[in-house]
């Protein structure tokens, strides 16, 4: 990130959101909302004085609420750019018109309470969507306490605790009483592979990060013992199977094949009620801490972005690639590419590989003066077009525009946007739209060809 932010050909816009996207491949017009940071980026030196002096503490989102941040803050130490932002919902200045300490202490006079959101325009030739994922809200699992037990956490919480520069400085503690956890139970597939309460698919990343966490746990707390309740171990990647074996053999992680049915507390322990289907026995474990591997799900606003980009998405809200085997990083919309877990759950190696591929595909757009497109696209005969524009409504790709022809307004297909789906042709009442290569006459000729030996003339 730091390198990118310093590259003269890269503009990094953080704390910003896409407001609107118009245009097509090679000619996208993007409206971006730069949210009011309340700190002037051109003046701020990143000294951190304001953060240190800010009196307001808020649970840190980055640390999953395990630690605190200030009302003026950078989300984490390595954040790029190293310029803080004011959380206006918690800042005393914005809420009660009090305090103002950050402005007073800033040596660069960078704090600006009057800053407003700013809408900026950028013209781009290609778009790579890498918006990532969210985690499944597991509170629907009432049988796991539905959130009532503080010591039932998610893998992301544990990830923060295992970070030596994180909120617990690498200590693995029970959020309820701050004691170090010794008996830790991992529960796989919470939300994943559950058609009744969650999603049917496998989230792909949990088996491996859980194995990693059990290994780290053993390093951090040598007298700890980890148990993993799993349904199937999915370790299909280079050295993945070996890695899981390492967790079992070197870190002593015990894998138990069965889905957990219930978690409840007894005294200061959590009772994890499970079974081992390999032994054919029901089992219970007394745990200090329970870590749930919650499902990977699309971002809540994933569909909104898909609609801005005229880009299809699946029943869950993951973006759909143009072809699952041959065009895995292209979206159906020309010039829009996909990478990371906005498309489906991916681990780091897959994300990195696909990001490389998507970048190269985007560069390919710029490497040529002319764009080669599929010949199978629609064409409007302006002589016949009555200008009803029903085709415009029918087009799922926003490919049809209106233009003047001989004093009347007619439909026109933007060739670089059209996919040749034929919706316009079947909607047109005057038969003025044809998909090139698929005119009615051509199709009739194809049908007739097997039945008549004589050559059929194509109109």
Partner 1 sequence: MPEILNRGDIHAFRDLILTLSGQDASRCIQCGKCSSGCPIAYEMEHLPSQILRFIQLNMQEKALSSNTIWLCAVCETCTVRCPESIDIAGIMDALRKVCRERGVKPGDKKIAKFNEIFLDSIKSNGRVYELGLVMKYNMATAQPFKDAALGPVMFSKGKLKISPDKVQDTGVVKNVFEKSRTFITSKKD
Partner 2 sequence: MEIGYFPGCSLHSTAQEFDLSVKAVCNLLDIHLQEIPDWNCCGASAAHETSEELGFALPYLDLVKAETASMETVLSPCPSCFSHLSETHEKVVSDNALGARLTEISGGKSYQGGISNQHVLDFFMNEVGLDTIREKVKKPLEGLKVACYYGCLTRLPGVNMDSIEHPMMMDRIIEALGAEVVDWTHKTECCGASLSITRTEIALRLGREILEAAQHAQADCIAVVCPLCQSNLDARQSGINRKYGTNFSFPVVYMTQLMGIAMGVPGSQLGFDKHIVAPSILNRY
Q: Based on CB atoms, which residue is closest to partner 2, 94 or 264?
A: 264
* 387 makes contact with partner 2 (CB under 8 A): no
Instruction: Give least dist CB 182 to partner 2, A.
Output: 22
Q: Does 196 bind partner 2 (CB under 8 A)?
A: no
Which is closer to partner 2, CB of 241 or CB of 284?
284
Phi-psi domain of 310 (left: phi exceeds 0; alpha: psi -120 through 50; beta: other): left
The residue with tokens 């497109």 is 373
150 forms part of the interface with partner 2 (CB under 8 A)? no
Could you tell which of partner 2, partner 1, none binds residue 258, using a CB distance below 5 to 8 A set by kind?
Answer: partner 1
Among 7, 11, 89, 195, binds partner 1 (CB under 8 A): 195
Contacts to partner 1 from residues 109-148, by CB under 8 A: 143
By beta-carbon proximity to partner 1, the closer residue of 108 and 271 is 271
Question: Which does residue 115 touch among partner 1, partner 2, none (CB within 5 to 8 A, set by kind)?
Answer: none
Q: Which two structure tokens, joined as six digits, stand for 182? A: 């010794």
Q: What is the DSSP string of 36-68?
A: --SB-TTT-----HHHHH---EEE-TTTTTSSE
CA distances from 369 to 15, 268, 366 (A): 34, 69, 7
Measured distance CA(203)–CA(336) in Å, rounded: 25
Structure tokens of 361? 């595909």
Buried b (16+ CB within 10 A) or exposed e, 303-323: eebbeebbbebeeebbbbbbe
Place of tokens 């009772």: 271
Contact between 286 and partner 2 (CB under 8 A)?
A: no
Minimum separation from the CB atom of position 145 to partner 2 (A):
9
Q: Which is nearer to partner 2, 71 or 270 (CB)?
A: 270
Which of 145, 167, 198, 317 forms a contact with partner 1 (CB under 8 A)?
198
238 binds partner 2 (CB under 8 A): no
| Residue 266 binds partner 2 (CB under 8 A) | yes
Task: Name, in order, each residue with C-beta under 8 angstroms of 136's C-beta and a sequence gap of 6 or more.
Answer: 190, 191, 192, 198, 199, 294, 295, 296, 297
# residues contacting partner 1 (CB under 8 A): 23
Q: Binding partner of residue 259 among partner 2, partner 1, none, CB under 5 to 8 Å per kind?
A: partner 1
The set of long-range contacts for 22-27, using a CB threshold of 8 Å and a minimum separation of 24, is: 24/334, 24/335, 24/399, 24/414, 24/416, 24/417, 25/125, 25/126, 25/333, 25/334, 25/335, 25/365, 25/371, 25/416, 25/417, 26/125, 26/126, 26/335, 26/365, 26/371, 26/416, 27/123, 27/125
Least Å from the CB of residue 146 to partner 1: 13
Report residue 20 as tokens.
């609107």
Q: Which residues, numbered 129-148, are part of the site for partner 2 (CB under 8 A)?
A: 142-143, 146, 148
Binding residues for partner 2, rule CB under 8 A, total 9
223-282 binders of partner 1 (CB under 8 A) = 231, 257-262, 273-277, 280-282
Q: Which residues bind partner 1 (CB under 8 A)?
A: 143, 189, 193-198, 231, 257-262, 273-277, 280-282
Q: Which residues bind partner 2 (CB under 8 A)?
A: 142-143, 146, 148, 264-267, 271
């Amino acid at each position: 990130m730091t390198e990118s932010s310093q590259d003269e050909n890269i503009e990094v816009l953080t704390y910003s959101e896409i407001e609107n996207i118009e245009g097509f491949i090679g000619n996208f017009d993007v409206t971006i909302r730069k949210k009011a940071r309340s700190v002037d980026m051109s003046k701020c030196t990143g000294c951190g004085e304001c953060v240190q002096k800010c009196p307001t503490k808020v649970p840190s989102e980055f640390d999953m609420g395990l630690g605190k941040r200030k009302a003026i803050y950078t989300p984490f130490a390595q954040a790029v750019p190293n310029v803080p932002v004011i959380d206006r919902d918690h800042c005393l200045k914005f809420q009660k018109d009090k305090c103002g300490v950050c402005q007073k202490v800033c040596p660069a006079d960078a704090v600006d309470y009057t800053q407003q959101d700013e809408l900026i325009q950028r013209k781009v030739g290609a778009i790579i969507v890498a918006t990532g994922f969210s985690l499944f809200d597991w509170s629907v699992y009432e049988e796991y306490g539905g959130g009532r037990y503080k010591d039932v956490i998610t893998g992301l919480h544990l990830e923060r605790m295992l970070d030596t520069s994180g909120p617990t400085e690498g200590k693995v503690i029970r959020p309820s009483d701050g004691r170090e956890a010794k008996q830790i139970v991992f529960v796989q597939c919470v939300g994943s592979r559950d058609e009744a309460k969650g999603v049917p698919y496998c989230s792909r990343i949990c088996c491996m990060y859980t194995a990693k966490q059990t290994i780290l746990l053993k390093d951090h707390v040598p007298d700890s013992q980890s148990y993993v309740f799993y349904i199937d171990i999915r370790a299909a990647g280079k050295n993945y199977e070996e890695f899981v074996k390492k967790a079992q053999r070197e870190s002593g992680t015990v894998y138990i094949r069965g889905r957990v049915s219930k978690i409840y507390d007894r005294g200061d322990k959590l009772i994890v009620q499970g079974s081992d289907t390999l032994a054919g026995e029901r089992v219970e474990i007394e745990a200090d801490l329970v870590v749930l591997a919650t499902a990977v799900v699309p971002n809540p606003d994933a569909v909104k972005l898909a609609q801005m980009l005229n880009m299809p998405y699946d029943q869950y809200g993951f973006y759909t690639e143009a072809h699952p085997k041959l065009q895995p990083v292209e979206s159906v919309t020309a010039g829009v590419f996909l990478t990371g877990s906005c498309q489906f759950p991916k681990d780091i190696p897959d994300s990195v590989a696909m990001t490389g591929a998507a970048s190269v595909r985007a560069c390919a757009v710029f490497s040529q003066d002319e764009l080669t497109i599929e010949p199978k696209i629609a064409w409007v005969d302006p002589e016949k077009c009555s200008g009803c524009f029903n085709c415009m409504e029918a087009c799922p790709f926003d490919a049809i525009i209106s233009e003047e022809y001989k004093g009347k307004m007619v439909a026109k297909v933007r060739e670089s946007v059209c996919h040749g789906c034929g919706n316009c042709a079947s909607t047109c009442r005057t038969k003025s739209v044809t998909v090139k290569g698929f005119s009615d006459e051509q199709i009739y000729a194809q049908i007739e060809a097997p039945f008549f030996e004589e050559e059929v003339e194509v109109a």
